Amino acid sequence: MSKAKPVNHYTQSELKLAYQLVQADLFNQLLKAPAGKTIKFGQLGKFKKTEQLVRSKQYGQHVYYKLSFGCFSKLKKAFHDQLSKKYKLK
């Protein structure tokens, strides 16, 4: 006899709260992270925070943080499958 997978039924308010918690946690981790630090985002990928410097004759020097995201293989495959289906690629 095979076990049926349990079905999770979440209310809209529970889902909204969960997303808010994840967003708040990621926001705080990104703020606290020093430049050059990589922050893992579960099994989806990782963020990397780097400091960038731009020099302009008109505005002078400007420093800002750049945030890049690298996908892990599971998400890359899902994106590839999605595009393959959309454009009927092999």
The string of pLDDT tens digits covering residues 40-75 is 999 999 999 999 999 999 889 999 999 999 999 999
Structure tokens at 87: 């454009």
Q: Quick check: is 15 in a domain?
A: no
Examine residue 5 and state whether it is found in any structural domain, yes or no. Answer: no
Cβ-contact 44, 26 below 8 angstroms: no
Does residue 2 form part of some domain? no
Task: Give domain status of residue 81, yes or no.
Answer: yes
pLDDT exceeds 90 at position 7: no
Q: Does residue 54 sit within a domain?
A: yes
pLDDT for the residue 4: 66
Residue range of the domain that includes 82? 35-90
Q: Is residue 52 within 8 Å of residue 68, measured between CB atoms?
A: no
Considering the domain boundaries, does residue 12 fall inside one? no
Count: domains in the chain: 1
Asked if the structure places residue 19 within a domain, the reply is no
For the CA atoms of the chain, what is the radius of gyration? 20
**Tens digit of each residue's pLDDT (9 = 90 or more) over 10-42:** 999 999 999 999 999 999 999 999 999 999 999
Q: What is the pLDDT of residue 90?
A: 66
CA atoms of 65 and 36, how far apart (whole Å): 10
pLDDT tier at 77, thresholds 50, 70, 90: very high
